[in-house]
Structure 1
């Protein structure tokens, strides 16, 4: 059994849980704050090589397919990215009620080919994206 090292990165957002959860439940909203998807995200056509329910995104490695958790009342906004080489990366993302606001937590898994510097750089990238999410939702 292999267990990947993880980092749980979070941001407090001064917006009600229901609003934050609803925003995260819409895949179309991700490019506005998640820079890995900022070049665009679109529903994948059946002839694109996508599996049913996947979205198409541009990635440095080429075309990537993203599957999002269906909208739910629990603030779960997990997604799975499938890269052209078949590699998949799971990205757990949660909105959690916190008083009158919301805490959003993303779990970052260290990938097998990552060294310490790359894992730290990915964590910094996620922190910037979560800060952009907070800014977007609070303004």
Structure 2
């Protein structure tokens, strides 16, 4: 299994980025690779309609370290752990998302990496209110 780190620097404080990204109600606004409609809460579980079908998402508890790790249970029952960090950066905050090649061929893996990059670009646009191109 391969991993690939996708990152995006956002011109906002790490706290502002973390607060926005950790609010699950914001997922459909920026994380189209995961959530294509509103988050559905069933008890302690979160469900979203994704490009892969209906999936369950479990985030780590809010924390002061900028950790946004989350497990996604696919329709196949496979659980994919997605490490995500919001780090301090000289220009604001850097979001680093680790994409893992689980149950994906090389083309699907490359497509997932591209989708995550687009999601982080949308996150940047949502937070900063800009439509700046990727560096």
Same fold (TM over 0.5): yes
Unaligned runs of 5+ in 2: 130-135
Q: Please tell me the root mean square deviation across aligned C-alpha atoms, in Å.
A: 1.4
Q: Could you list the per-position Cα deviations for residues 6-47 of structure 1 after superposition, in whole angstroms to 9, with x for gaps in the alignment?
A: 0000000000111111112211111110002022212124xx
User: Which segments of 5 or more consecutive residues in structure 1 lack a partner in the other structure?
Assistant: 46-52
Question: Moved runs in structure 1, 4+ residues, more than 6 A?
Answer: none
Q: How big is the shift at 1:118?
A: 1.0
SS in 2 for 1:70: coil
1:33 to 26, 30, 55: 30
Tell me the secondary structure at the aligned position of residue 67 of structure 1.
strand
Q: Is 1:119 matched up with 2:109?
A: yes
Query: Is 1:132 matched with 2:129?
Result: no
Q: 1:98 Cα deviation (Å)? A: 0.7
Matched, 1:74 2:59: no
- Name the residue aligned to 2:74: 83
The count of residues paired between Structure 1 and Structure 2 equals 128
Query: Given the two structures, how large is their TM-score scaled by the length of structure 1?
Result: 0.85
TM-score (norm 2): 0.87
Work out which of the two has the higher radius of gyration on C-alpha atoms and give 1 or 2: 1
